[in-house]
A and B are shown apart, each in its own frame.
Chain A
Amino acid sequence: MTTLQFQENPTPTTQRPPRHHWNMVVDIDRCTSCRACVIACEAENNIPINTEDRFTQQRVNQWIRIERYWEGEFPNVKARYIPMLCQHCDNAPCEPVCPVYATYHNNEGLNVQVYNRCVGTRYCANACPYHARNFNYWEPVWPEDFRNYLNPDVTIRSRGIMEKCTFCVQRIRRATRGRQDVADGAFAPACVQACPSDALVFGDILDENSKVAKLSKNERHYMVREVLGTLPSITYLKKVEADAL
């Protein structure tokens, strides 16, 4: 019997050897569903304000969201939360379907969206099994006095293009530009930085001593929709059942 083995880190498309492979660990047990990550992400990444209209039209633009599921029958109902964002899959279904290479894999394990190339076919959004991709149906507008709060490091996306979580690539670039090594925890994406319960942990999986590398070997680890073989860069840690202790 032969069993097919997946390559853990497929050969990157660029020639440089990978120095980092950015990963995240989401500890569901620590998540309180406070949604600080959502707000932090919106502020950091110049995401247009999600007004009530956007919700009723089902056109909410959230790069990270907390999904809430109810489990059990009344009165024994439990609320379950799972933060969901782009999984930066190493075998991403969204990448090969784009006709113009607007989304591709860089050699640091990031699934990168190039806004300038995008023509807005939205095929990547259909292909994504995680619903992680957002489309700009309208030109983004902010209130006049809000414009000074926009993050100068992040492009404002026009209408008609896709966008999604970048693992705050602008922060990664700042922290790693011109440096060989970056200390674990020297920087973090906005959502990780904002998480009050440390449910989100970010780091370089190639660094064996990093927090992410250690946590992702935790016995509670799993990946969402692992059966699809997308090889996500985000590891989830299962909730510890209170009644099971």
Chain B
Amino acid sequence: MHSKGHEAAHAGEHLHGLEDMPPIMTHEEVSRDVIGRFTAVSWRYMAVMGVLALLFAIGLVAFVIRAVGGFDDTSDWGYFVATMGFLTTAFVSAPIVSAGLRFTKAHWRRPLARLAEIHGVTALLVLLMVIPALAALPDPVGRADIWFDFPSPDWFPHMWTMIAMAALALCTVALLWMHALPDLANARDHLPQGKVRRNVASFLSMGVIGTVRFWRVLYRGGLLLGALYIMMYMAVQTILSAEWSLGMVPSWKDSMFPAYQVMKGLQAGTAVVVVTMFVLRTWGGYEKYFGIDQFWSIAKPLLAFSLLWFYMWFASFITFWYGRQPSEINLIQMLFLGPWAVPFFSSMLLNFLFPLGMFIWNPIRKSIVGPTVVAAAVLLGALIDQVRVYVAPMSLNNHFGHVLAEVPVFQWPNILDIAIVVGFISGAILLFTLVAKLVPVVSIWEVGEGLRLVKVRKFHNRWVRVIAKSH
């Protein structure tokens, strides 16, 4: 009963069953198209860059004013740390999406893997932000500390946090660079001589040529580096949440919290990818690559991460709720029901109820706007949630002691805080737009490889896509 394969007459021709499929291009078409867009610099691009640079500059000024004010009062630095946490949670986690999908060999990942990896470069910005954030930390002595008695020099007690963050940044840059090598070589070979972009591409591509050995190293190394990145991301989230959130609150002993933050990272990282895809599709002219297939497919993990995030929150909440120890009751007051109830419930709404309510409907998942709206809501919710989990602990009066005896009041952001939050998030986006001109934002070789593995065949009375399993 094997169906006889028939080659589809021609892509683009209207056939029964082919309506949802993207147009099938050749590798050369993809290459010419992407390289062309990659080298073009439009006025719109420059305008966006200008606005982002301005906002980032304002953020930097606000930061300098804060820094001049001193690092003694942790409550001053709450929103700065929350911004750092948000960048880690949303942008730095994006490469996990590409690495994870590469593991599962999902074909729809091909166009979006690169942009997710470019977002990871935000780790460099976070690395810079860690330095003042560490200065704002109170003395680790007399407080719970993630490094226990791990030796570090007296003049630099937070050395290991710094090293962990630097390693993560290094890893994400390596991940991006490695997977961009074939495309950089492509740009080097296809751009006209003498152009600056060609020289940059030529420099960055380090003269690689696509030998069999090179591709083997790329596949193996990409998977290994991706696995390493995921594990390092888990570790860094653990350290961040332990240093600036858990460690700030006496008696907050919540082994779930780092896992909760990692899950939040997966959720927000996926959302960032969705929003970026939408922007590139609508204003960047990449609609051939980011089609329904991508949005529809990524909506499922986004829904799964939203549900898992809620599950992780609930599992830790119920432990405290049933424990009913005075310190636990105060903790619940601080984090969920007391002064921070409004941020908490809004993030619950935006990160759990809204995605759940929208994504259980297949027509919404199977659209461009639906996943984008949900992803934007998830990002907003993630920002609010990171403000809650970092600002509330940082605004405590006393970080030392045995139990949490008092619940901090709600801390409104002042003008400096707002400038810092907006400025540094703009800085992360600015970084993305800059790097997107260094490496192509769509991975040419991965898309091309996918095209080679797809054939359109006839199966009974429908045209279907046949996807080969590559090994």
Task: Give A contacts to B, CB under 8 Å.
Answer: 1-4, 6, 91, 93, 96, 227-229
Contacts and interface: CB of A to CB of B under 8 A. Distances in A.
Interface stretch (B102-110, B129-137, B326-334, B452-460): B326-334
Contacts of B101: none
B403 A227 contact: yes
B22 interface: no
Nearest to A2: B407
A229 B324 contact: yes
Given A3-B405, A3-B406, A4-B333, A227 B397 contact: no
Contacts of A1: 397, 406-409
Interface of B: 322, 324-327, 329-330, 333, 338-339, 397, 402-403, 405-409
A163 B333 CA distance: 36
Contacts of B409: 1-2
14 contacts: A1-B397, A1-B408, A2-B409, A3-B406, A3-B407, A4-B326, A4-B333, A6-B326, A96-B322, A227-B326, A227-B327, A227-B402, A227-B403, A228-B325
Contacts of A96: 322
Across the A-B interface, the 6 shortest Cβ-Cβ residue pairs: A229-B326, A1-B406, A229-B325, A3-B406, A228-B325, A2-B407
B393 to A, nearest CB: 15
Contacts of A4: 326, 329-330, 333, 407
Contacts, number: 33
A227 B322 CA distance: 15
B326 A2 contact: no
Contacts of A2: 333, 338-339, 406-407, 409
B329 A229 contact: yes
Nearest to B409: A1
A222 to B, nearest CB: 15
Contacts of A227: 325-327, 402-403
Given A2-B406, A3-B407, A4-B407, A91 B330 contact: no
Contacts of B406: 1-3
A193 B396 CA distance: 50
A135 B327 CA distance: 31
Nearest to B328: A229
